[in-house]
């Protein structure tokens, strides 16, 4: 991988993580083993080892591999991490990504309730949970629905993890309106925390 210091590219670029996820950036710099990505609404830093390569934003990625076949889960478990593992298998998402979202959202606490009324491990709003045909107060349904939502957003945004996480936090409407991560301090902080947690976990 060539990760030397880079000047801005016309139209920007994508940092492709070792997991295959892509992060849009206006430019990047590399120093002391750290890649600094200048995003539209902020800056985030990742270890050099977490970035596989950079691509111009007009790069056309090859078709994504199909998701693995659905696997029927074992009997429900009370342990949040076990439920997250099962949901990751069912949706074909990396375990570390689903768990990172859950950790940042709720600290893996099924009883968590936000000031805005979001519920459970994956912090689903009641209306969102209803649309996903899930009971947000049931840990298994909450985690399953959150993982399904995350997968839908990654598909909607062609694997752009920043847009997907931004939409999970602020809603797809906000992401579409701003054509990327909204300029909300809460959303910028949220996306940065999830990506850092994901990379720290090894991105697997």
**Which residue numbers are catalytic?**
105
How do strand 42-47 and strand 51-56 relate by DSSP bridges? unpaired
Closest by Cα among 161, 91, 149 to 122: 149
Cβ 67 vs Cβ 92: under 8 Å? yes
Which residues are 119's β-sheet partners?
113, 124
Residue 179 in 3-state DSSP? coil
Rounded to whole angstroms, how far apart are CA atoms 120 and 138?
Answer: 8
């Amino acid at each position: 991988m060539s990760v030397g210091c880079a000047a801005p590219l016309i139209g920007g670029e994508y940092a492709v993580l070792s997991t295959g996820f892509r992060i849009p950036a206006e430019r990047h710099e590399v120093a002391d083993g750290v890649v600094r990505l200048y995003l539209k609404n902020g800056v985030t830093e990742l270890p050099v080892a977490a970035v596989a390569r950079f691509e111009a934003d007009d790069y056309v990625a090859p078709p994504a591999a199909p998701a693995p076949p659905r696997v029927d889960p074992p009997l429900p478990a009370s342990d949040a991490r076990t439920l997250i593992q099962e949901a990751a298998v069912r949706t074909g998402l990396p375990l570390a990504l689903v768990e990172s979202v859950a950790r940042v959202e709720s600290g893996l606490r099924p009883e968590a309730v936000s000031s805005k009324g979001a519920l459970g491990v994956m912090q689903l709003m009641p209306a969102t949970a209803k649309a996903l045909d899930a009971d947000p107060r049931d840990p298994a349904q909450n985690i399953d629905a959150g993982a399904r939502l995350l997968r839908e957003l990654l598909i909607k945004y062609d694997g752009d993890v920043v847009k997907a996480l931004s939409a999970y936090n602020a809603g797809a409407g906000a992401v579409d309106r701003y054509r990327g991560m909204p300029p909300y301090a809460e959303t910028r902080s949220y996306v940065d925390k999830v990506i850092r947690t994901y990379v720290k976990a090894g991105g697997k």
